[in-house]
Amino acid sequence: MQGFIKYILGFVFFVALQVLILNNLQFSGFINPFVYIIMVMLLPFETPRWLLLVASFFLGLTIDFFSNTPGMHASATVLIGYLRPFVLKSISPRDGYDTGTLPRIKYYGLNWFIKYVIIITLIHHSFLLFVEVFRFSSFFFTLGRIFLSSIFSIFLIIGSQYFIYKR
**Number of domains comprising the chain:** 1
Please tell me the predicted confidence (pLDDT) of residue 19. Answer: 93
Domain that holds residue 151: 2-163
> For residue 112, what pLDDT is reported?
95
Cα–Cα distances in Å, from 86 out to 41, 79, 113, 120? 13, 12, 15, 11
The C-alpha angle with vertex 99 and arms to 96 and 105, in degrees rounded to 5, equals 70
Determine the pLDDT at residue 138.
Answer: 85
Q: Whole-prediction pTM value?
A: 0.92
pLDDT number for residue 126: 96
Confidence (pLDDT) at 2: 65
CA 65 to chain centre: 17
Position 29 scores a pLDDT of 67
Tens-binned pLDDT, residue by residue, of the chain (167 aa): 567 788 899 899 999 999 998 888 767 667 889 999 999 999 999 999 999 999 999 999 999 999 999 999 999 999 999 999 999 999 998 888 888 888 999 899 999 999 999 999 999 999 999 999 887 788 898 999 999 999 999 999 999 888 876 65
pLDDT in the model for residue 167: 53
In this prediction, residue 28 carries a pLDDT of 67
pLDDT number for residue 30: 74
| CB-based contact 53:81 (threshold 8 Å) | yes
Give the span between the Cα atoms of 59 and 43, in whole angstroms.
13
